[in-house]
């Protein structure tokens, strides 16, 4: 049963592998270049400091802060991985071939459990490969800028796995109910991307109350602000209100880097919890409503 389940998703596995290979082709050469530039002086500055280190680090940051123009597009990849690995099971329901499997002395529950386990394992392995690639690519930049900014936070830690499982569960739940693989995949990708962008834009910054700091211009600001998620910043008066030129203070609203794993846990719980509900809905529908 496990071997059959794997054979049924070979084509989708090849598509996902091709997408990951294309991402690697785009990112590995640039990642090697970033690592070389980092090792040529930035790494020593971060460890030992020095009179010219501020300029060296700023130059590195400005040189590579927009590196990897493909990265925003890779936000679709966890969703695409989930939808592709859900497709073979949805096709079984669209074509009615699930009935043949149920007549081969395989209980409906066992058949569904094995199919779900194989597709989830494949999706998580693919997501692991994506996460490893992105964590390696971003390594030098993370040591300079931190991991809290969008398009960094979204590819490291545990949230990519939750994104993938959510997309897989969503495509599966829609697919077993509607029995149309193209419709299910399209709706799942649309909902996935809408929720991802919505939480990233409006929800994530309020998982914890952001830190608000005001300090006089020309003085040292909060420690480790470079590694934080800087939500708002700019010149203000002493109360934090915008001003044109006089009595300038610096102002920042940010999520500290120390909250990375706590915020990862919250977002992973949101998407992982939704995925579990969707898997449960799909399983209930198959066991109780499909004949």
Model pTM score: 0.91
Distance CA 58, CA 153 (A): 21
- 135's CB contacts (< 8 A; 6+ apart) are 142, 155, 156
Give me the percent of the chain exceeding a pLDDT of 70.
93
pLDDT at 194 over 90: yes
Report CA torsion sign: 176, 177, 179, 181: negative
More confident position, 285 or 50: 285
Radius of gyration of the chain (CA): 23
- Residue 215's pLDDT is 83
pLDDT at 63 over 70: yes
- Residue 119's pLDDT is 94
3-state secondary structure the chain: CHHHHHHHCHHHHHHHHHHHHHHHHHHHHHHHHHHHHHHHHHHHHHHHCCCCHHHHHHHHHHHHCCCCCCHHHHHHHHHHHHHHHHHHHHHHHHHCCHHHHHCCCCCHHHHHHHHHHHHHHHHHHHHHHHHHHHHHHHHHHHHHHCCCCCCCHHHCCCHHHHHHHHHHHHHHHHHHHHCCHHHHHHHHHHHHHHHHHHHHHHHHHHCCCCEEEEEECCCCCCCCHHHCEEEEEEEECCCCCECCCCCCEEEEEEECHHHHHHHHHHHHHHHHHHHHHHHHHHHHHHHHCCC
How many C-beta atoms lie closer than 10 Å to residue 143's C-beta?
14
Mean pLDDT of all residues in the chain? 89
**pLDDT 10s digits, 4-58:** 677 778 899 999 999 999 999 999 999 999 999 999 989 999 888 888 888 999 9
pLDDT at 99 over 80: no
**pLDDT 10s digits, 198-243:** 999 999 999 999 999 888 877 777 877 889 999 988 776 666 666 6
- Residue 50's pLDDT is 80
**pLDDT 10s digits, 134-151:** 999 999 999 999 999 998
112: confidence class by pLDDT, cuts 50, 70, 90: confident
- Residue 66's pLDDT is 80
What is the mean pLDDT of the segment spanning 115-133? Answer: 96
- Total number of residues shown for the chain: 291
Exposure b/e, 17-40, CB count within 10 A at least 16 = b: eebbeebbebbeeebeebbebbee
Geometric angle at alpha carbon 69, from 64 and 73, rounded to 5°: 140
Distance CA 257, CA 277 (A): 31
- Residue 247's pLDDT is 64
What is the mean pLDDT of the segment spanning 178-205? Answer: 95
- Residue 54's pLDDT is 87
């Amino acid at each position: 049963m496990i071997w059959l389940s794997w054979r049924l998703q070979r084509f989708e596995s090849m598509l996902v592998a091709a997408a990951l290979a294309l991402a690697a082709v785009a990112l590995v050469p640039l990642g090697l270049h970033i690592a070389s530039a980092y090792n040529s002086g930035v790494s020593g500055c971060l460890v030992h400091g020095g009179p010219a280190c501020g300029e060296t680090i700023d130059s590195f940051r400005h040189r590579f802060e927009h590196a990897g123009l493909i990265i925003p597009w890779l936000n679709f990849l966890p969703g695409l991985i989930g939808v592709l690995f859900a497709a073979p099971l949805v096709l079984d329901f669209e074509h009615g071939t699930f009935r043949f499997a149920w007549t081969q002395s395989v209980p409906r529950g066992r058949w569904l459990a094995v199919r779900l386990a194989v597709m989830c394992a494949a999706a998580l392995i693919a997501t692991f490969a994506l996460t490893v690639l992105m964590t390696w690519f971003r390594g030098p930049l993370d040591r300079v800028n931190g991991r809290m900014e969008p398009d960094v936070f979204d590819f490291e830690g545990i949230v990519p796995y939750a994104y993938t499982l959510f997309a897989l569960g969503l495509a599966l739940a829609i697919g077993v109910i509607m029995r149309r693989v193209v419709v299910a995949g399209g709706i799942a990708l649309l909902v996935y991307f809408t929720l991802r962008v919505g939480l990233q834009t409006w929800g994530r910054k309020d998982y914890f109350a952001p830190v608000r700091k005001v300090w006089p211009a020309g003085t040292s600001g909060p420690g480790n602000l470079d590694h934080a998620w800087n939500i708002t910043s700019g010149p203000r008066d002493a109360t934090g209100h915008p001003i044109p030129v006089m009595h300038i203070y610096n102002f920042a609203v940010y999520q500290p880097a120390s909250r990375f794993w706590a915020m990862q846990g919250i977002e992973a719980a949101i998407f992982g919890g939704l995925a579990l509900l969707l898997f449960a809905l799909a399983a209930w529908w198959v066991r109780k409503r499909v004949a």
